Amino acid sequence: MTTPYSAARYDEMPSLWDGFANLVRPGLGLSAFGANVMNLPPDYETKSHDESESGQEELYVGLAGAGAVLVGEERTRLALDPECAVRVGPGTPRVLASGPDGLRVLIIGGVPGEAYAAPEWSSG
């Protein structure tokens, strides 16, 4: 049986890409949904992607710094900072973009109406 709670600093969690991403799900032993923290350097944009294959919708929560989620082919700019959250559906392309101070963002994902199945790359 798992313990009824867990806690860890982000820098103590498994990471990918030289600390660019902290794997919150395996770091805390979550099983109901996926969760990662991305640490974007100043004035950076991720590659565009969507979640058509996985069917996941994603919630982006700004933790520190500021930036935006650029959604759709038209790259509609949705502000992302500690006062904002953004949800993006599975088939919508998205890019994370940081401002001059960088951006730390919590990303939570899951497939609506289905039990969570962790992708292999996110197991830490």
**How is 75-119 classified by DSSP, letter by letter?**
TEEEEESTT-EEEE-TTS-EEEEEEEEEEEEEEEEE-TTS-----
Helix extents (H) in 1-122: 24-28
Handedness of CA 43, 47, 50, 51 (dihedral sign): negative
Range of the domain at 85: 35-111
Q: Is residue 105 part of a domain?
A: yes
Q: Is residue 78 part of a domain?
A: yes
Q: Is residue 121 part of a domain?
A: no
What does the block give as tokens for 58? 């994603």
pLDDT value, residue 98: 98
**For residue 6, which amino acid is it?**
S
The CATH number for 94's domain is 2.60.120.10
Other Cβ atoms less than 10 A from the Cβ of 124: the count is 14
Percent of the chain with pLDDT over 70: 94
Q: Is residue 50 part of a domain?
A: yes
Residues belonging to the chain: 124
Q: Is residue 17 part of a domain?
A: no
Q: Is residue 61 part of a domain?
A: yes
Q: Is residue 104 part of a domain?
A: yes
Give every CB contact of residue 9 below 8 A, 6+ residues apart in sequence.
none
Per-block average pLDDT, block size 10, for the chain (124 residues)?
A: 84 88 93 93 96 94 98 97 96 97 96 80 62
Number of domains in the chain: 1
Report pLDDT digits (tens) over 84-120.
Answer: 999 999 999 999 999 999 999 999 999 998 887 777 7
Q: Is residue 118 part of a domain?
A: no
Which of 42-60 are b and which e, b meaning 16 or more Cβ less than 10 Å from the residue's Cβ?
eebeeeeebbeeeebbbeb
- Per the confidence metrics, is the pTM higher than 0.85? yes
What does the block give as tokens for 45? 């944009």
3-class DSSP state for residue 37?
strand
3-class DSSP state for residue 39?
strand
